[in-house]
Amino acid sequence: MSGGVDSSVAAALLKEKGYDVIGVTMQLWPDNGRSDGCCSLSAVEDARRVAAQLKIPYYVLNFRDIFKKHVINNFISEYNRGRTPNPCVVCNERIKFDALLKKAKALGARYLATGHYARIVKERGGYSLKKGRDPEKDQSYFLYPLSQKALSMTLFPLGDMTKSEVRDIARSLGLKVADKKESQEICFVEGSYKGLFNPKEGDIVDRSGKLVGKHKGYQLYTVGQRRGLGISGEKPSYVVKIDPKRNKITVGNKGDVYGDDLLAGKLNLFNTGLISRPITVKARIRYKSPAAEAKLMPLNKGKLRVMFKSPQFAITPGQSIVFYKGNKVLGGGIIE
């Protein structure tokens, strides 16, 4: 229970169906973490109030050390490598659907339930992950690293619902979180994450190598970024490449940021056919990007080459790419 409307309604729906429900919140934030939003102190109090209203047991579990080890340290390491990680994907893989799942099992729970907008379907030979019914809220992108074991022990009560339906249920139950705003920020940072790094000023060059400006630390930029570069010109400049070894950022025009292929590694595939032969799928290179037609080409050492039918804007190393066939998630990996 994050203290938001989604997990609160998920708990209420499960109790209504006759499940023996226990509410838990993971204490994740470091001392310099956010004072509001997901997993903050105020979120704990909201979750506690909802649990009391639903008359279910409620616990706060300390996951600070493992969260710092797997999520925060990975976040810092990836940015130091000039990449742009997705901490929510890592949190789902290593914390929610691994460490918390093990804790749930130790407590005697049969299932772990969350307020994610996605669906799990049991099929012959295993479990499938599918998009949530609400296209605006579908969160299957963040869940592709889940193992078959995790899928077998997980419930997504909101998968067949829309956000407006969830808020209506919360209002009908009189939950005070019914109209609570969603947290859009990184849960372990309040304001700028500059303090996580030791940024040093460096050169901004154009594609010919000409010096056109100075950056404030390459960790504070991402591929495709336009704002905050401090460069004036006839056309807007965009970050095309980040070179951490030389502490240098290369910029170009918008057309320079488009690419039509990428290399993906650290794969988790629900369909092993993806690594045995070329296959055409829909692929999403970031959460809010539309899925685009692409051909997957298996390579050695568990990697895939992904070739898009149409060029994609700002293919970004460190981000996740997720593959779909219709509403079904085929798997995904990290853009290298």
Exposed/middle/buried for residue 218 (C-beta within 10 Å: 0-12, 13-18, 19+):
buried
- Per-residue H/E/C for 112-127: EECCCCEEEEEECCEE
Choosing from 38, 39, 88, 187, which is the catalytic residue? 187
Residue indicated by tokens 């970050």: 239
Q: Measuring CA to CA, how many Å separate 275 from each of 322, 324, 328, 335?
A: 14, 15, 17, 16
Known active-site residue 91 = yes
Choosing from 38, 39, 88, 91, which is the catalytic residue? 91
CB half-sphere exposure, 181, CA atoms < 13 A: 5
What type of residue is 129?
A: L
Are the C-beta atoms of 63 and 91 separated by less than 8 Å? no
Residue indicated by tokens 């568990």: 302
Known active-site residue 187 = yes
Report the catalytic residues.
91, 187
